[in-house]
Amino acid sequence: MYDVNKLREDFPILSRTIYNKPLVYFDNGATTQKPRVVVDAMVNEYYSVNANVHRGVHFLSMRATELHEESREVVRNFLNARSTNEIIFTRGTTESVNLLAYSFGEAFMKEGDEVIVSVMEHHSNIVPWQLLRDRKGIVIKVIPMNDRGELLLDEYEKLFSPRTKLVSVVHVSNVLGTINPVKQMIEIAHKHDVPVFVDGAQAVPHMPVDVQALDADFYAFSGHKVYGPTGVGVLYGKENWLDKLPPYQGGGEMIGSVSFERTTYNELPYKFEAGTPDYVGTTALACALRYVSAIGMDAIGNWEHELTQYALRRFEEIGDIRVFGNAAERGGVLSFQVGNIHHFDLGTLLDRLGIAVRTGHHCAQPLMQRLGIEGTARASFGLYNTKEEVDALIAGIERVRKMF
């Protein structure tokens, strides 16, 4: 039995009001709210453990290091990675892609080599490849989609050439909600001996992810989208790949030994973690992952699926709403336009009713170009959202529509 009202009690912010209206928070795709246990973990670490990790022989430093490394084990277990050597802590998905584009690009790509991305990528899985293109003259190829928002797998297969070095694709679209068939896409890439990076920013908070079952070579997510703190995220990589990649940034932690003549690098995963890590953030991230695991990722996914189906039915009832994305496999993201109302006006007026939705291009301008629009309003669901909140959104939309 999924007791959403009980879960809501774990999130203090959900009981606040906005303009004297109960908060309806539907901007979970951008970031999620934090349960009390996650904030408590941070406060507790700062108040009673805080010391820099890895370099200390004193009690606090050793305790902080233990917490940080236990967190790596929690992430490993959450993703079902083989080893903690495969878990690199980053600032988030964006930094994970930049790390990969830089290091993989340095090691394995030269002018004319190709990376395959999809038309529905977030800018963070486009621009790092463009930076590499500027640096090295690589070629970016794009998987197209149909009007339902499903990637065309036949076209995808045709994009492979002897110059293809990597596929870099989003697991769940932050605009369309499409759950891409990444397992199948990875199989196809591996037939061509091409490794695959998966952007899991919108997948990890909503479904169980098993990197071994997917056979993903690289996988990334952000802590703040899975009820954890801002400023910390993960790049998973198969050890045999990570071993072959050069470091991304230089500094403390990532070295073996340094002299002015020659520096050697630390082993995995530290080779990719220059400088003081966000060790308080990693503790809190582990706390968030334990929290969602205790609820059950399947249970969260099922609840959000139910909410999404309910919202889609209610949208149909009121009519004159265009929902972008209608894939057979879809998650709890609804991008929509209402009549001729500009999405900014819609978002601003909904805000006055206490309803937080995102508006704009959602960092996916190439996808907007494909859809022939400038932007949408977007409601994205989290584990604590309710059908009553969907009803409030529908009532809000009706109200705004009457005003126009």
Q: Contact, 315 vs 323, CB < 8 A?
A: yes
Contact between 92 and ligand PLP per CB under 6 A:
yes
163-182: contacts with ligand PLP (CB under 6 A): 170, 174
Contact between 93 and ligand PLP per CB under 6 A:
yes
The crossing angle, in degrees rounded to 10, of helices 36-48 and 279-295 is 150
> Which residues have a Cβ under 8 Å from the Cβ of 174 and sit 6 or more positions away?
29, 122, 201, 202, 333, 362, 363, 364, 380
Instruction: Return the active site residues.
Output: 363
Backbone angles phi, psi at 391, to 5 degrees: -60, -40
Q: Which amino acid appears at position 85 of this protein?
A: N
Closest CA to 172 of 195, 151, 200: 200
Closest separation in Å from C-beta 235 to ligand PLP: 11
Closest CA to 303 of 28, 12, 87: 28
Nearer to ligand PLP, 122 or 330 (CB): 122
Nearer to ligand PLP, 35 or 92 (CB): 92
Q: Tell me the window of 68-76, 92-100, 245-253, 283-291 that interacts with ligand PLP (CB under 6 A).
A: 92-100
Contact between 202 and ligand PLP per CB under 6 A:
yes
214-233: contacts with ligand PLP (CB under 6 A): 222
Q: Tell me the window of 79-87, 153-161, 197-205, 210-218 that interacts with ligand PLP (CB under 6 A).
A: 197-205
Closest separation in Å from C-beta 222 to ligand PLP: 3
Count of chain residues binding ligand PLP (CB under 6 A): 14
- Distance CA(222)–CA(171), nearest Å, equals 13
Q: How many residues does the chain have?
A: 404
15-34: contacts with ligand PLP (CB under 6 A): 29-30
- Distance CA(304)–CA(308), nearest Å, equals 6
Closest separation in Å from C-beta 208 to ligand PLP: 18
270-299: contacts with ligand PLP (CB under 6 A): none
Sign of CA dihedral 242, 245, 249, 254: positive
Among 113, 114, 199, 389, binds ligand PLP (CB under 6 A): 199
- Residue 25 β-bridge partners: 356
Nearer to ligand PLP, 95 or 217 (CB): 95
Could you identify the residue written with the tokens 């500009």?
342
Site residues (vs ligand PLP, CB under 6 A): 29-30, 92-94, 122, 124, 170, 174, 199, 201-202, 222, 363
